[in-house]
């Protein structure tokens, strides 16, 4: 097989890349390892919100840049900050021109650009006919009309390199080797959340104690191939995810929703000894990662009381109250903290002391003096003093890995010295350096995938002499 451009992966990043490249005159082949017509991937399951750092992407560019810098505590290179902030609105406009529909889905500003039809406001996994499913089918159809093709049931294995340049790849289909000669390759096969060995090496010492919140199809093939070709990796230790009830390990109605982030940010989280180990105020993505990195990831429990359950517990998109108990999630409760500790198997004196310290800090407005400190920028902590006292055992819910292949602002894969590898590009969740860092900053998967997909396609087209762009980035 010969083509101008081969794209690995047919999620949103891959199909945006493929369609934009075809628009610019390139011959395009997409390889997708899923064999079904509606192959599973995170893009199929998505809730559909396009945002940056849980804020509207339609704000002034400098304001959006500040959000990225703040969320990631300066982890993202300035060139990538500018790319994300300035290109996000164009990516959405481009998708609209492909026939993708958006809507305002709620009162929060980050809900102003959501795929239509929106996800259903109910627990469990509901994707058929929803925004992500419709997006993939629409982009897949558009690619075929442009002369491109999607080959399903094909798994990329090795990049072919000549003189330091990527010239194609080897893949497998039905046990046979397939050689694809290409003038350029774009890796867009998602993160590595579906590979236990990579998760163990980078994310959690106990992968089986982390619940997949997505399709789990990201196996890290692209990351391995790029690394073997000399690519640098950036920001691999962290994931985007949310905190789930531990029953989600055996009850499919409890993932990907409801999540427990709001309960955690209002209450407190303890380990099996009854001690706090994380700053709950830094939000669900941060706490999810800290739980995953414990030697005992299933030892975390959120402690709260009835006012928290009836307040913050009702405030999520698909809130724990009332949905969690309705679909089989276990809430442990008792009239006293000592009784709750006994039911949890936690030392009562330690739990009582932990709650007392928490309450005193909240009452005195000095939660920063706790160990570990408790921040208040994202959410207000509540005192825990009104029976019945309640608890839910937790599991880290992993949606996709934040780190991966290092790229520049054009989607070109970079070596350790910063130079690009000729003919090799990457887009979407397989890339690193756009999210994460020690702040575990979440920027937004759909936005990141669309922007990097456009940039990779346009850079590949320019490198191959097909750069039919006007000044706005729109094909002539």
Q: What pLDDT, in 10s, does the model give residues 51-88? A: 999 999 999 999 999 999 999 999 999 999 999 999 99
Predicted local confidence at residue 323, as pLDDT: 98
Structural domains for the chain: 2-236+402-464 (3.50.50.60), 240-398 (3.90.700.10)
Per-residue pLDDT tens digits for 316-370 = 989 999 999 999 999 999 999 999 999 999 999 999 999 999 999 999 999 999 9
Residue 190's nearest CA partner among 14, 38, 353, 438 is: 14
Per-residue model confidence (pLDDT) at position 466: 84
Residue 41 neighbours by CB under 8 Å, 6+ apart: 9, 10, 11, 34, 136, 190, 215, 217, 218
Residue carrying the six token digits 């998708």: 95
CA 81/CA 88 separation, integer angstroms: 11
Angle of CA points 33, 39, 44, to nearest 5° = 120
- Tell me the two tokens of residue 106: 């709620």
Give the pLDDT confidence score for residue 468 in this predicted structure: 56
Q: Report residue 467's pLDDT band, with 50, 70 and 90 as the boundaries.
A: low
pLDDT above 90 (res 29): yes
**Residue 206: other Cβ atoms inside 10 A:** 17
Whether 32 has a pLDDT exceeding 80, the answer reads yes
Contact status, residue 124 vs residue 253, Cβ threshold 8 Å: yes
Taking the C-alpha atoms of residue 370 and residue 350, their distance in angstroms, rounded to an integer, is: 15
What is the per-residue pLDDT for 19? 98
pTM comes to 0.96
Residue 470 pLDDT > 80: no
CB neighbours (10 Å) of residue 239? 30
Q: Give the three-class secondary structure for 291.
A: helix
User: What is the spatial distance between Cα 28 and Cα 38, in angstroms, rounded to a whole number?
Assistant: 20
Distance CA 74, CA 438 (A): 10
Task: Give the C-alpha separation, 392 to 303, whole Å.
Answer: 7
* Partners of 132 in the β-ladder: none
pLDDT of residue 472: 37
Helix/strand/coil for 159: strand
Average pLDDT over every residue of 448-454:
98
pLDDT tens-place string over residues 75-127: 999 999 999 999 999 999 999 999 999 999 989 999 999 999 998 989 999 99
Tens digit of pLDDT for each residue in 216-227? 999 999 999 999
Q: Tell me what the pLDDT averaged over the chain comes to.
A: 96
Section 414-427 average pLDDT: 98
CA–CA dist 410, 405 (Å, integer): 13
Place of tokens 């575990």: 440
């Amino acid at each position: 097989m010969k083509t101008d451009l081969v794209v690995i992966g047919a999620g949103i990043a891959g199909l945006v890349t493929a369609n934009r490249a075809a628009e610019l005159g390139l011959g395009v082949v997409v390889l997708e390892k899923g064999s079904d017509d509606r192959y599973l991937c995170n893009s199929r399951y998505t809730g559909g919100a396009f945002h940056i750092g849980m804020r509207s992407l339609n704000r002034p560019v400098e304001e959006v840049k500040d959000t990225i810098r703040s969320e990631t505590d300066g982890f993202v290179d300035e060139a990538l900050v500018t790319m994300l902030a300035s290109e996000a609105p164009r990516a959405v406009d481009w998708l609209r021109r492909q026939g993708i529909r958006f809507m305002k889905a709620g009162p929060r500003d980050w809900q102003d650009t959501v795929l239509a039809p929106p996800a259903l406001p109910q627990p469990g996994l509901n994707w058929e006919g929803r925004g992500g499913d419709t997006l993939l089918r629409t982009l897949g159809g558009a690619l075929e009309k442009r002369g491109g093709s999607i080959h399903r049931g094909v798994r990329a294995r090795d990049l072919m390199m000549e003189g330091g340049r990527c010239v194609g790849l080897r893949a497998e289909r039905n046990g046979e080797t397939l050689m694809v000669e290409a003038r350029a390759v774009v890796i867009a096969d998602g993160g590595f959340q579906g590979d236990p060995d990579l998760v163990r090496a980078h994310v959690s010492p106990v992968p089986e104690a982390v619940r997949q919140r997505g399709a789990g199809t990201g196996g890290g093939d692209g990351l391995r191939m790029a690394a073997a070709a000399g690519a640098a990796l950036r920001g691999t230790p962290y994931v985007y995810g949310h905190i789930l009830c531990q029953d989600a390990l055996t009850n499919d109605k409890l993932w990907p929703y409801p999540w427990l982030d709001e309960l955690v940010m209002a209450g407190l989280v303890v380990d099996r000894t009854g001690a706090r180990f994380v700053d709950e105020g830094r939000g669900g993505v941060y706490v999810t990662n800290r739980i995953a990195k414990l030697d005992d990831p299933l030892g975390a429990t959120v402690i709260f009381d009835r006012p928290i359950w009836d307040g913050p517990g009702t405030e999520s998109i698909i809130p724990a109250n009332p949905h969690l108990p309705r679909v089989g999630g276990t809430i442990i409760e008792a009239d006293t903290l000592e009784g709750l500790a006994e039911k949890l198997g936690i030392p009562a004196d330690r739990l009582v002391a932990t709650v007392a310290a928490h309450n005193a800090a909240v009452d005195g407005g000095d939660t920063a003096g706790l160990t570990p400190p408790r921040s208040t920028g994202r959410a207000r902590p509540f005192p825990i003093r009104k029976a019945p006292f309640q608890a839910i055992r937790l599991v880290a819910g992993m949606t996709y890995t934040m780190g991966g292949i290092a790229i520049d602002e054009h989607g070109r894969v970079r070596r350790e010295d910063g130079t690009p590898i000729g003919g090799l590009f990457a887009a979407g969740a397989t890339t690193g350096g756009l999210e994460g860092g020690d702040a575990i900053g979440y920027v937004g998967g759909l936005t990141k995938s669309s922007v990097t997909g456009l940039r990779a396609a346009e850079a590949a087209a320019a490198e191959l002499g097909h750069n039919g762009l006007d000044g706005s980035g729109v094909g002539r």
